[in-house]
Each structure stands twice: as structure tokens, then as C-alpha cells.
């Protein structure tokens, strides 16, 4: 019986999201990140958490041509909840509340937004991974960032 309980507990740990740092700003996101594919590039830069906020900027381009840019924030509200604020090309910010948070993984969602509806960041070793998608996972776009300068 003990063995069955242990196997069940282990299986649940693999399936359930880890919520070990709930409400904490994702300091593992801090840094300058670059994805380079041929002459196409995407960059994100995230500040250290301070004052309940992390500030990020991103830009995408091809060769020396800037294609798009965005100002982002991850903010801790008075109630301790986190939300991602994305403002592409200086437009008004869209807010995506946190829906899942682990040790090195965070997901935000806003089902009322056209696209994206979900934003997820996670670390795989030294790499920063990012994905945007619709709520059902369709139209997923993925990025694999390396620390800039490497």
C-alpha cells in the first residue's frame, strides 16, 4: 500500500504545476537575451525585480532593419498577484494576469485579447524559452533565447 501511495504522489508531482514561489517576481528572467536565426533576430532585456516591478523591452528585426518593438512590465499588485503588461510599439498596455508559476516557469493569460492570449516564459538550463499562443494552444510561436554576448 505504501508503494502505491508513493507512486501516486510521484505521478502527481510530475503532472501538477509547481507553485513554490507564488507571487514572487521571476528574477530568473533578468538579463539580456538573444535569438539569432540567419539574419533574423529577436532580443529581450529584463531588469532585476525592484519596487514590485520588472521592466522589459523587446525588439525584432532582420539584418539592420527593426521590424517591431515592445515595452513590457511584470507587476506585483497590492494583493500579491502578478500580471504581465505588454505595450507593442508604444500602444496601450494589455494586461495578462498570472495563471501558473513555478520555480523557473511563469504563464500569463488574457482570453479576451485577440492574440496572444497566453504568454509563457521558462528556463531550460542557461536558455530562456518563450511562447505565445491562443488559449487552446493554437497559433503558438516559440523563442529560444541565449544570454546575449555568448
pLDDT, tens digit, 9 for 90 and up, residues 86-120: 999 989 999 999 999 999 999 999 999 999 999 99
Pairwise CA distance, residues 135 & 138, whole Å? 7
And the C-alpha cell for 82? 502578478
Pairwise CA distance, residues 82 & 135, whole Å? 19
Average pLDDT rounded to a whole number, residues 28-53: 97
Classify strands 65-76 and 105-109 as parallel, antiparallel or unpaired. Answer: unpaired
Q: Which CATH superfamily is domain 20-147 in?
A: Calycin beta-barrel core domain (2.40.128.20)
Amino acid at each position: 500500500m505504501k508503494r502505491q501511495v508513493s507512486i501516486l504522489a510521484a505521478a502527481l508531482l510530475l503532472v501538477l504545476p509547481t507553485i513554490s514561489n507564488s507571487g514572487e517576481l521571476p528574477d530568473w528572467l533578468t538579463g539580456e537575451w538573444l535569438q539569432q536565426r540567419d539574419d533574423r533576430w529577436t532580443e529581450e532585456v529584463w531588469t532585476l525585480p525592484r519596487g514590485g516591478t520588472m521592466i522589459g523591452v523587446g525588439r525584432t528585426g532582420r539584418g539592420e532593419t527593426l521590424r517591431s518593438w515592445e515595452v513590457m512590465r511584470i507587476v506585483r499588485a497590492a494583493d500579491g498577484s502578478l500580471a504581465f503588461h505588454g505595450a507593442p510599439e508604444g500602444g496601450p498596455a494589455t494586461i495578462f494576469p498570472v495563471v501558473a508559476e513555478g520555480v523557473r516557469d511563469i504563464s500569463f493569460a488574457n482570453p479576451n485579447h485577440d492574440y496572444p492570449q497566453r504568454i509563457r516564459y521558462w528556463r531550460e538550463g542557461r536558455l530562456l524559452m518563450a511562447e505565445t499562443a491562443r488559449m487552446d494552444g493554437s497559433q503558438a510561436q516559440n523563442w529560444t533565447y541565449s544570454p546575449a554576448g555568448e
